[in-house]
Structures are given as C-alpha cells and as structure tokens.
Amino acid sequence: MPQPLKWPVRLALTVFCLPFFIAGIIVASAVAMSITGSSPDNSTVWFLPVALCLVPLGILLGALIAYALIIFFLTWLTPDSALLVESQEPASGRIACLLNPAFRLVRALAIRLAPTRP
C-alpha cells in the first residue's frame, strides 16, 4: 500500500488544478449566458437554473483535463512515480465510483499519448 502524499505535493497539485476548475466555472457560466440570452448587466430568470446545471459539468471537465495533464507529464518524465501508482487505486464513495470510468478513460488516453523515454 503506497504512503499518503506529503503536504507539499498535495499543495502543488491543488495549485496546479485550481486554474482548471476556475476556467471550467467561467466557461460554463459563459455557455449558460449564451443559452439563456442574458448578459452580465441583464440576466434572465433562466440563467440560474441553467448555470447550476452547467457549472458542475465545467468543473468536472476542468478536473479531467488537469488529471490528464498530470498523468501525461508523469508518464513521460517519471514513469516510476508514486503518484502514478496512487492514481491506479480504486475509487471509494458513491460519486467517485460513478466518475471513475471517466477518469480511467482519460488516464488511458494520457498514457497512450505520452512519448516513451529511450
């Protein structure tokens, strides 16, 4: 069983992933504005329900992109990294089990795209 990550590694991962989450929120809000035909100055009644549906999807998409980049660069630069071993552990929890297939697919794609070191 691998050891838990130390706090500097967790902090670095958080700092790396946070811009992707924020970008997901901003893009989802912009899509919600275009769907409802509203603007920042003049919002409609439908903006809130549409945004509440799209923002979690934007955050999930940002998380998948950040995860793919982390796996891609770890596979390419340090293929024997402990973070790669930890990313293979099974998910626990109801929501994590529902999202696990998406993360497995992104992980497989990132590993396939990573160049091999000679």
88: containing domain = 7-113
pLDDT values of the chain reduced to their tens digit, one per residue, 118 residues? 556 778 888 888 889 999 999 999 999 999 999 999 988 888 888 899 999 999 999 999 999 999 999 999 988 888 888 778 777 777 777 887 888 889 889 999 999 999 887 6
State the total domains in the chain. 1
Residue 118 within a domain: no
Residue 106 within a domain: yes
Q: Token pair for residue 95?
A: 């929501």
Residue 1 within a domain: no
Is this prediction's pTM over 0.85? no
Residue 88 within a domain: yes
DSSP letters for 18-38: HHHHHHHHHHHHHHHHHHHT-
H or E element that contains 113: helix 94-113
